[in-house]
Structures are given as structure tokens and as C-alpha cells.
Homo-oligomer: A and B are copies of this chain.
Amino acid sequence: MNIAIKNILTVLPGETPEAPQTVKKTDLYIQGSRIAAIGEAPADFTAEKTIDGTDKLLIPGLINAHTHSYMAFMRNCADDLSFMDWLFGRIDPIEQKMTDEDAYWGACLAILEMMKSGTTCFNDMQMNIMQTTRAAKESGMRAVISRGLVGSGDDEAGRSRLKQAYAERDAFRDCDRLTFRLGPHAPYTCDEAFLKILAKEAEQENMGIHMHLSESVTEIENCRKDYGCTPIELAERTGLFNRPFIAAHCVQVTDSDMDIMAKHGVSVVTNPASNMKLGNGFAPVPEMMAKGINVCIGTDGAASNNALNLIHEMSLVTLIHKGTHRSPQCVSAEDAFRMATINGAKALSLEAETGSIEVGKKADLAILDLKCPSMWPVNNPIAALSYSATGDEVETVIIDGNITMENKKVLTLDEERIYFETARIMERIG
């Protein structure tokens, strides 16, 4: 569809990749799935739909670089517990009883929340195949999907999960909004031999990797005991870092770990709410930025956050490091904006397609209402996104050139049905 968005305050990239974002009032034209022009209409352009941008803000759709969508129905069911009580007392028993259909409805609820708060693309690690993928496809979302892989050496279980991952990828080849990565779960659920197999598989299949790394002190201690090295060093020596690599968490990393990641172009996803909530602490985000590591932002799953709202995470990532570093200049709103947009796109190898408002890129966009107390007066929209917005300012979402949400109503999902089904799941297995 040809869409024109007129007279809208728009966040555009700076003149160079390092320059601050530019915010200016302009017009934007969408043809098919892509941004066709900014400012002047393309030749022979006839808008089938025109959106009035008065008192609105146009931003690139946000990218949630680490989540587990299926968990959304578990939100607020296991809080203020020790890690062991949280995992083995509450989450694990629910997961054991969860069906594929439950995972699908969980993913639908997650996508509803993400879309409503301006996210247009997410990077997911799931334990049931086909379900989050199905929800993403139906909802119009852009997504990168990893089936969580767990295994020891060349064991049957690991091989079988890998086959599932390939089967899923092949089943969704018709949907170009979906891409797939291999998802070794973590150093404590995959042994070194299995990680080496996955590194080779990823090479052969030309796939990127998405893995939990260096989340907790216990993980580091066990890795040192088992392998005599840090999780980052283990990932490097198994060859995994030779592939495009997304490392979720990296809370407990050494200076040398950061150098290794910088050298290999590893992207780090910081998940501030989850890392605090589970008592893991604060990732050294300013230090990783200083080393040139591409840092982006994730929500993690709703069992450990409990929201999937990237605006909330932007607020956290800008505030907490100012607190830990006693510096009001640490991790700026501009930094958080990049992390939630273009850095996420880079991490997912989607930089050419999404993450900024540029002619030729996919039209993945969010339109926010400015006339609300959290955004008014319009003194600095980039600062507002991190420091005063809640996420509920998002009115309209466009993904791949399709309007998936309009006037705060998601058009691609049956919201009432999702509420009905997810409540029923928790009644049954919660």
C-alpha cells in the first residue's frame, strides 16, 4: 500500500553514523514494504492512505534484541523469590505442563505488548518450535527466531533439537520477515563438544548465533570449574564467535572478556530489568560501549522482567549506569535510542533493512502521540523516549509497510481471544 505520513516530527539518522540523531518535521512516503521518500513525494506517488502527523512523533520501530515470547502468560506469577525457588518452584513446573498451543498464545500476548509499546522486531529464543514463529508471522511482526538448543557432545537430544531448528526455518521460508539463528542455550546447558558442533553447523548453514552468556556469578564459577575459563572465552575457543553472534546478558564479564567480544564483533544485549530482578546486578554497559562493542537492549522473558516494553528498558539503561557510575553523563538518551533501534538491527544482521528511517529501508515505524503529559512540552523527543515516556504513547505501528496497529488498536491479532486463552492457561497450569 502507498502510505503518506504528513507533517510529522521525525527522528532521522545524523549526517554521519556517529553524529547525533536529527529530529525534524517532514513528510514520509511508503511504497510497498519500503520507505520510498522523505520530504518530497516520489514521482507518480498516489497515497492510498494519508496519516496526519500533527503533534505526533515518528520513530524507527524498536528492536527487542532478547526475549522469550512464549513466557508472557507467566508475568507476575513468580516474584521476589530466590533464583532456585523462582526457577524450580514456579517457572519450571509451569513449563513442564505447557503445550505447544499454550506457547502460541503466550507469544501472541507478548507480541501484543511489544507492538503496543512500539517494538516492530524481536529476537526470540523459544523452547517449543513453530509457535512463536506462527504468532510472529500472523501478527505481521519482524522476528529473528532461535530454538533453544541444549546438549552434550553429539548426543541424540542435541541433534534432535538441531533438526527441529532446521525444520522450523525451512517451514517458514515463505515469510521474509522471519530469519533464524542457532540458539545454544547457555554454557551451563551445552557442553564444549556440543558448542563446537553448533559452531560448525552455523558455518555450514550460514546462520548467526543467539546465546545466553555470563548472566550470573554462579555461571562464571561453574564455567571456570568445568572449563578453566570464562563463558566468553569458552564461546571464543569453540569457534562460535566466528559467526555473527548475539550474547544476551554479559553481566559478569572481565575486561579481557570485553576485548575478546570487541575483537570478534560480538553484539551484546543488555537486559537491565531482568538482570536486576533476578539479583544478577548491572552489566558494564558504559565499559562495553567504550570498547566499541555493539550494545543493544532486550526485555528477556516475562517470567523475569515482567514487561516486554522496550521504552521501559531504555529508561532503565539510561538511569542505572548513571547511578552505578555516579555520573549524569553516563549512557545518554541518544545512546539508549541507538541501542533500541540501529544497534539492535546490526546485532540481528538486519542493518540494511531496519533500525532507522532511511529511504530504501523497510517501513518499520512507530508513531507516538506527543500531546500527553509524558511527552509535553516537546523539548527533546529523544530524551522524552528514555526519561518520561511509558510506551503507551504509541498510536500507530507500521511493519514491512503494513499498518499493524492504528489508534492504539492492534489490527493483526484478536486481542480479546488472547486475553481469554492466556487467562485459561494460568487457570490450568499456573
Interface residues of A (CB under 8 A from B): 72-77, 79-83, 86, 109, 112-113, 116, 217, 272-273, 275-282, 302, 305-309, 312, 315-316, 318-320, 322-330, 332-334, 371, 373-374, 376-381, 383-384, 387-388, 390-392, 419, 422-423, 425-426, 430
B contact residues around A306 at 8 Å (CB)? 383-384, 387-388
CB pair B116–A373 under 8 Å, yes or no, is yes
CB pair B379–A328 under 8 Å, yes or no, is no
13 residue pairs of the A-B complex, CB under 8 angstroms, read A72-B373, A77-B379, A79-B332, A79-B387, A80-B333, A80-B383, A272-B319, A273-B319, A276-B323, A278-B328, A305-B388, A376-B419, A377-B419
Partner of A279, one of B73, B328, B387, B430: B328
CB pair B305–A377 under 8 Å, yes or no, is no
B contact residues around A112 at 8 Å (CB)? 373
Given contacts A277-B322, A388-B307, A426-B377, contact A329 B76 (CB under 8 A): no
CB pair A329–B81 under 8 Å, yes or no, is yes
* Other A-B pairs beyond A79-B333, A81-B328, A377-B422, 11, CB < 8 Å: A72-B373, A76-B379, A77-B380, A116-B373, A275-B323, A306-B383, A307-B374, A316-B319, A377-B423, A379-B426, A379-B430
Q: How far is the CB of A290 from chain B (nearest CB, A)?
A: 16
B contact residues around A377 at 8 Å (CB)? 73, 75, 419, 422-423, 425-426, 430
B contact residues around A309 at 8 Å (CB)? 374, 388, 390
Partner of A328, one of B272, B277, B308, B373: B277
Determine the distance from Cα of A260 to Cα of B272 in the docked complex, in whole angstroms: 34
Determine the distance from Cα of A308 to Cα of B306 in the docked complex, in whole angstroms: 22
CB pair A76–B390 under 8 Å, yes or no, is no
Q: How far is the CB of A82 from chain B (nearest CB, A)?
A: 6
3 closest residue pairs by CB, A with B: A113-B373, A276-B323, A392-B392
Partner of A374, one of B113, B277, B278, B327: B113
Determine the distance from Cα of A305 to Cα of B277 in the docked complex, in whole angstroms: 22
Determine the distance from Cα of A374 to Cα of B305 in the docked complex, in whole angstroms: 11
- Among A80, A81, A312, A390, the one with the most B-chain Cβ atoms within 10 Å of its Cβ is A80
Q: How far is the CB of A102 from chain B (nearest CB, A)?
A: 12
Determine the distance from Cα of A379 to Cα of B309 in the docked complex, in whole angstroms: 18
